[in-house]
């Protein structure tokens, strides 16, 4: 997905969720500043990892059960909050898409093992970026939900999970397996408003399903 396709959806999200585009763009500047010494790679270089089949792991309560019936295959792509649970099952993703929420230790560990990390800047994760973004030792791609430019990329998407799907589709994936995706049952998280999370998941569902291009198969 290019930015011209994404921007109208982005504007709707800002309006619906009450977020600020200016805050998003300020966060991009923070992300760039704290990753000056990181192993930055281009989105295109990361995209070479994408195979025709990808497994994108969500973080719903059903993740472990879903993996029991959906055999992960192809390129393994995690949403950041799912990484610790995947590690407990012995699954190490090749690509991790994160806004630095969730268990950071497990995300840093798979980075040390060579996973590519797509670190995402949005309006309210500036403190997390200052604390953690510069600690990733493996390859890093910088992403935004606002205007891309230079070393910052935007392939569409709002939450970690649907951004991972958008990334896979952008680089030619034709079959996407989706264990851990449940748009009506968010994983409980301390300090998180369940009603807000449900609104985010409705956007994720729209982005993944309604905006799915012809020829791409989604399997739950």
pLDDT tens, N- to C-terminus, the chain (220 residues):
999 999 999 999 999 999 999 999 999 999 999 999 999 999 999 999 999 999 999 999 999 999 999 999 999 999 999 999 999 999 999 999 999 998 999 999 999 999 999 999 999 999 999 999 999 999 999 999 999 999 999 999 999 999 999 999 999 999 999 999 999 988 877 767 889 999 999 999 999 999 999 999 999 9
State the pLDDT at residue 40: 98
Q: Classify residue 80 as left (phi > 0), alpha (psi -120 to 50) or beta.
A: alpha
Q: Where are the domains of the chain?
A: 3-219
In contact, 28 and 152? CB cutoff 8 Å: yes
pLDDT at 10: 98
What long-range pairs does 161-164 form, CB within 8 A, spacing at least 24? 161/56, 161/58, 161/59, 161/79, 161/97, 161/204, 161/208, 162/203, 162/204, 162/207, 162/208, 163/97, 163/118, 163/120, 164/56, 164/77, 164/78, 164/79, 164/95, 164/97, 164/118
Beta-carbon count within 10 A of 49 CB: 17
Looking up tokens 């990484």 gives 83
Q: Where are the alpha helices (DSSP H) in 40-132?
A: 43-47, 63-69, 83-88, 104-112, 126-132
What SS3 class is residue 80?
Answer: helix
pTM: 0.96
Where does 3-219 sit in CATH, by number? Answer: 3.90.1480
Q: What pLDDT was estimated at residue 191?
A: 67
* Strand 75-79 versus strand 95-98 pairing type: parallel
| DSSP string computed for 154-219 | ----SSHHHHHHHHHHHTT--EEE-TT--TT-PPP-TT--HHHHHHHHHHHHIIIIITPPTT-EEE
């Amino acid at each position: 997905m290019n930015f011209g396709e994404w921007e109208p959806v982005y504007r709707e999200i800002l309006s619906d969720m009450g977020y600020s585009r200016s805050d998003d763009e300020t966060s991009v500047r923070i992300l760039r500043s704290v990753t000056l010494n990181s192993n930055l790679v281009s989105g295109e270089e990361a995209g070479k990892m994408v195979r025709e089949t990808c497994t994108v792991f969500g973080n719903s309560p059903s993740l472990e059960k879903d993996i029991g019936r959906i055999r992960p295959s192809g390129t393994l792509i995690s949403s950041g909050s799912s990484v610790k649970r995947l590690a407990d099952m012995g699954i190490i993703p090749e690509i991790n898409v994160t806004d630095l929420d969730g268990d950071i230790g497990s995300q840093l560990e798979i980075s040390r093992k060579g996973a590519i990390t797509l670190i995402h800047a949005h309006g309210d994760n500036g403190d997390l970026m200052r604390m953690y973004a510069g600690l990733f030792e493996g390859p890093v791609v910088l992403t935004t939900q606002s205007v891309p430019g230079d070393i910052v990329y935007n392939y569409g998407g709002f939450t970690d999970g649907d951004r991972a799907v958008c990334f896979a589709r952008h680089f030619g994936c034709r079959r996407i397996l989706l264990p851990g995706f449940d748009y009506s049952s968010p994983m409980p998280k301390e300090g998180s408003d369940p009603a807000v999370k449900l609104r985010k998941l409705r956007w994720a569902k729209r982005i993944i399903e309604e905006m799915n291009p012809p020829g791409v198969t989604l399997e739950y």
